[in-house]
Structure 1
Amino acid sequence: MKDQSVVSWSEKMRSVEKEYKRTIEPFRKDLWWYCYRLTGSPWDAEDLVQETLLKSLSMLTKVFQELNLKAYLFRIASNLWIDQCRKGKAAIAGGYEIEWKQDTDASNNLEVIESLDYLVRRLTPKQYTSLLLVDVFQFCAKEAAEILGSTQGAVYANINRARVVLSELNNDLPSEEQLNVQDSSANSATLERLLEGFEKKDPNLIAALLDENVVTEITHAGIEYGKDETLKNSLNDWTQVAAGQGSLRASIAELWGRTVVVESEIKDDGDYLNNIHFIEIEEDRIVYWKFYCFSWELLNAAAVELGLKMNAVNFQGIY
């Protein structure tokens, strides 16, 4: 039996979340790059951004004062990452280097940016975040202290220690540890049929591959439980968008250590990236399907990495 009060609250919360995401939109790009520099992985950065947005929204019910919203978001992200470090869950930063194009007039410390993967291995989490906030993202020491829940003196001490470590860095950087890559040969028949479904724009073929209890996650937009819900929503939306496009190309790629499906539209001047799909398969059925079509920063970085143009310009500012 469905609880209608839960449905009602869900609708209200979606409206509030949508308005909140519109409000923080000017800071999303810097937040994503900050999370990327913390985690060293675009995938982990996307997860940290999503967790930051969810927690920052829920925490607002307990805040009774005016906020510097950008600093507030960076504080939540910093605390989440530091907590993960303390619990031993945070990945080692580094390994996937993508070009950073920040819209700012500030003169960033390029030496720091180029050495972050080295520094994160040799600094405490607070030393690392202090350096990142001040030397890369141009927060003043007072703002960095507020973000980290610390003092200006502690921030200065952390930065000084980090700069000493940076000064010791020579040209012989240690080699990066290779991350485990998902076996792309597993369930290859299911993946091949999925690629065929994309290229033929055939929702029935795709639907036939879904497990009855599939979980479909549209990053930053929603989550669906079960095949029926996915058919009614995400797959239906994809079908309508695909119908208005030209020929599609779907391929399997290794992107930043993860096996993904790359979906693009074929145009006269090349392929344009539509979406990145992460798929988990059990017993020839898709049990988890994650869309990144609303992950603007990640898609831009992926397009550069894959040598594609961007097709989803309409997704910027969906909030």
Structure 2
Amino acid sequence: MRKLLFVTVLALDEGGAKDAFLADAQKYRRELLAHCYRMTGSLHDAEDLVQETYLRAWKSYDRFEGKSSVRTWLYRIATNTCLTALDGRKRRPLPSGLGGPSADPYADLTERHEIAWLEPIPDDPHEDPADPSVIAESRESVRLALIAALQHLSPRQRAVLVLREVLQWKAAEVGEVIGASTAAVNSLLQRARAQLDEVAPSRDDQPVSPESPQAAEALAKYIAAFEDYDMDRLVELFTADAVWEMPPFDGWYSGPADIIALSKYHCPAAGAGDMRFLRTTANGQPVAALYMRNPETNVHEAFQLHVLDLRTRGIAHVVAFMDVSLFRKFGLPETL
């Protein structure tokens, strides 16, 4: 009886310790979400993989020897969870990453729902404004252009690049996670960098922080032009080489003239007052959340999330995500 009581108490103590560990480990949830997002390019998948990471950590807590920090241990579990999930999966592209040329704005639009498209991720609302360098670094590592470029790498290359370049892990530490030698890790990193140089867009100016006065002014002008449906004002905001894309449509459009032609030709019935916007941020970039007026109900309904790549020269890239389920993920209402 005494032995049974002892075992029961011991089990309760172990269970309590595991629960306490899991509660303490929750402070790493947001950065683990960003890590899984970099690996997958999907907010939905990243959320599921973080849950799986914590479940695996809770189950294997008794094997945690404390040789590394809890944070490092969680990253190891998260990385391997992502690698397992990505095995055999196709990459998540943007339309411009499908390999085709820019589209004719007067051609028919084609939706491709069979493609698992890249998704945006909302910025962390709890970032510490007292440490702008940390914020800038974390945002740079989830910018849409980088996440789209990472999709061209194999999952193992992705893991190596993120762990080495973003998290600043040593090659030997990365090797322990993915089961490779230091030499193999360095080789994977070299090939990953070379591939990124081939696919990542080159810019001669820097991105503008979404909290800066310049970003606030540019976003205000962008929203006002759309809400007034003044395409002449809108065209002035884009750079000469600006790109527009809107998954799940598989076309992408280059240059202000084609972008405006696309809007006029495919949305000719829109007028002043038909569009309203809310402002937020995602991927370290300004976001204009578009609500389109339903003529039958006269209610403005969630329609698109415009993620802007704002540069010192103007708006260089807009991805208008048409997955309205993202509005809830961003804490945005479905109607205005």
TM-score (norm 1): 0.47
Larger Rg: 2
Determine which structure has greater relative contact order: mean sequence separation of CA pairs < 8 Å that are 6+ residues apart, divided by chain length. Answer: 2
The TM-score normalised by the length of structure 2 is: 0.45
